[in-house]
Amino acid sequence: MDSEQFRKYGKEMIDFVADYWDHLRDRRPVSDVQPGYIKDLVPNEAPEEPESWDAIFGDLNKVVVDANTHWHHPHFFAYYASANSYPAIMGDILSAGLGSVGFTWNASPSMTELEMTVTDWLAKMIGLPNVFLNSDPGPGAGIIQCTASDATLVAVLASRARAAKVHAKEALGEISHEDPLTLINPDSRLFPRLIAYCSEQAHSAVDKAALLGGIKMRKLRTYKENDYGLKADVLAAAIKEDRAHGLIPFLLVATVGTTPTCAVDDVKALGEICQAEGLWLHVDAAYAGSAAICPEYRYLTAGVELVDSFNFNVHKWMLVNFDCSPMWFRDAREATAYFNVDPIFLKHEHQDKTIDYRHLQTGLGRRFRSLKAWFVLRSIGIKGLQENIRNQCALAKQFGELVTKDERFELAAPVHLGLVCFRLKTSNDANKQLLKLVNDDKRIHIIPAQAHGTYFLRLAICSTKTTSEDITFAWNVICELAEHI
C-alpha cells in the first residue's frame, strides 16, 4: 500500500468507523458467536502473496465487527464504562502514523513533554496538590500507564523496594555471591515478612499484583452499613495484629470506587494511619477518579495530600479510549531509583534535566498516548467532560428509582456515580437465574457481583449513546424476564 492508496483506503476506514458508530443501535450489544467461530472464516496460514485491500476490507464485518462485544452500544451496561470519542480516535491515528517509541526523552521529545503537560492538566482538573505536578520543582511526577492494573503493580513493586531498603537491617543473613559486578541482586530476604492491605472489595487486579510482586496482601473487612468502604480502625487493628505476628506492614491499596458497588475507602483517615505507621498509600480510583473534575464529586479525592501514588483510568470516563491511565507519584525519584537500569545505548545528554518515563513503568517501549487525551481535553473542554459525567450519573439515578419503586427488587448498595447494584429480594439463585436470562436474551448486557455473600446484578452506565429511553428499555427487559422466575 503506497501513500496514494493509503489516502484512499484510510479515508474509507474513517467512513467505516463513522458508519459503525452511526449504526451501532441497529446491532445488539453482544454477538452470537461461539469459541472457535473464526476457523471457518480465516485460513490457518498467512498468505505468501499480498492480498488486495478490497479483499481484506470485505472481511471486516464478518470476522471482526459482527463477532465483537460492543462496549459503546447504548444497551451495554457491563463492567464499567470504557470511553471513546472521535477526537480520541484522531489521537490514535496520529500516534500510529508517527510510529515513535518514547522510552527516553531523546527518543521522542514531544511524546515525553506532551505527556508531562497533559498529566499536569489532569492533576489540576481533579484537584491533586502541586507536589504531584511535573511542573513542580519537587520530585513528584505524573505518567500515563496502560491501565489501572499496571499502576497497581508498579505501586506494589515500588513500595516493596522501599520496604526492603528501610528494613534491610532486620533481614536474615543472605546467601552471597562472589562476583557482584555481574549479579543483579535485589534484596528479597524480607519478602516473606512483608504484608500489604486492601479492602476485600478491591479489584482482582490488586490480588494479582500481590501474587506477581511476591508479597502477602491481606484483604480487610468492610461493612454494609458503611457502604462497603474501608474504615481506618480496621486497618489500624490489622497493622497492630500483624506486627505482633512478626510481619512488616508496608502498603495500603485504597480504592475510590470499587468494582462491585463503587464504594469509597476513607482515604483521609486511612492516610493518617499510613503516615504514622510508615506505609505507602496507593489510591486506585480507576473508575471514580474522573468524576472528581466536577466540584460536587470532589470529595472523591479527599485526603489525596496523604497519598504516595494515585491513579485513575482516563479511558474509563473521560471520553479517551483505552489505554490511558495516568499515575502520579509523590516522589518519582525514589520509585526511579529502585529499578534503575541505565545501559549505554539509552543514555543521552538531557538525562539530568528531564524525565525518562521508562523508569516509572515496568516495560521499556511506550506509545504516544498523550495525543488522544490532549485532543479530547481541547476538543471537548472541561465543561463538556463534566456534562457527560453528570448526564451518566443522572441516568444511574433514574434506573435506581425504577428499582426502588418495584417491590420485587431492592438496591444492593446505594446508587453511586454511574453504577446501580440491584437484586430480586429473593435468593441468590433467583438472581443468578435472572442474570442468565438477561444475558442470553442479549437485548442488554450486564454482569453480576457480590458482597458479603449477597449476589446482585450491576447496571453501569457505559455508553455516551445511552439515553433516558434506553434506561426505561433496560428496566422493561429486566422486568419482563423476571416474570419467568
Instruction: Give the footprint of its own copies on residues 54-113 (CB under 8 A).
Output: 55-56, 60, 63-65, 67-72, 79, 82-101, 105-111, 113
Q: Which of 234, 264, 377, 396 binds its own copies (CB under 8 A)?
A: 377
22 burial type by CB count under 10 A (0-12 exposed, 13-18 middle, 19+ buried): exposed
Closer CB to its own copies, 398 or 439, in the complex: 439
- The identity of residue 194, as a single letter, is L
- With respect to its own copies, which residue has the nearer C-beta, 88 or 474? 88
Name residue 281's beta-bridge partners: 252
Minimum CB distance to its own copies smaller for 69 or for 426: 69
* Burial of 391 from C-beta contacts in 10 A (0-12 / 13-18 / 19+): middle
Largest CA distance in the chain: 74
Distance of alpha carbon 436 from alpha carbon 413, whole angstroms: 21
C-alpha cell, 305: 495530600
Does position 430 bind its own copies by CB under 8 A?
Answer: no
Question: Quick one: which of 128, 144, 155, 205 contacts its own copies (CB under 8 A)?
Answer: 205
Q: Least distance in Å: CB of 157 to its own copies?
A: 5
Would you state the cell numbers that stand for residue 460, as one nine-digit string? 453501569
Write down the least CB distance from residue 405 to its own copies, Å: 26
Q: How many residues in total does the chain contain?
A: 485
Among 75, 162, 216, 416, binds its own copies (CB under 8 A): 216
Q: Based on CB atoms, which residue is closest to its own copies, 191 or 473?
A: 191
Q: Cell 498516548, residue?
A: 369
The residue type of 216 is K
Among positions 26, 51, 225, 469, the unique one binding its own copies when judged by CB under 8 A: 51
Q: What does R_g of the chain's alpha carbons equal in angstroms?
A: 24
Site string for its own copies, 148-187 (x = CB under 8 A): xxx--x---x--xx------------xx-x-x--xxxxx-
DSSP code, position 61:
I
DSSP annotation of 256 reads B
Which of 60, 479 has the CB closer to its own copies? 60
CA 68, CA 467: separation in Å to the nearest integer?
22
Q: Which of 226, 398, 404, 450 lies at the binding interface for its own copies (CB under 8 A)?
A: 450
Does the footprint of its own copies cover residue 337 (CB under 8 A)? no
Q: Write down the least CB distance from residue 250 to its own copies, Å.
A: 13
Q: Which of residues 116-135 bind its own copies (CB under 8 A)?
A: 116-117, 120-122, 124-125, 135
Does 336 sit near its own copies (CB under 8 A)?
Answer: no
Give the binding range for its own copies (CB under 8 A) out of 48-56, 328-336, 396-404, 469-477: 48-56
Q: How far apart are CA 307 and CA 268, in angstroms?
A: 9
* Region from 210-218, 228-236, 268-276, 395-403 binding its own copies, contact rule CB under 8 A: 210-218
Determine the Cα–Cα distance for residues 385 and 450; give it in Å rounded to an integer: 31
d(CA 248, CA 238): 11
Instruction: List the strands of the sheet with 409-411, edge to edge.
Output: 409-411, 419-424, 454-460, 447-451
Q: By CB under 8 A, tell whether 379 contacts its own copies.
A: yes
How many binding residues for its own copies (CB under 8 A)?
A: 171
**Min separation Cβ 93 and its own copies, Å:** 5
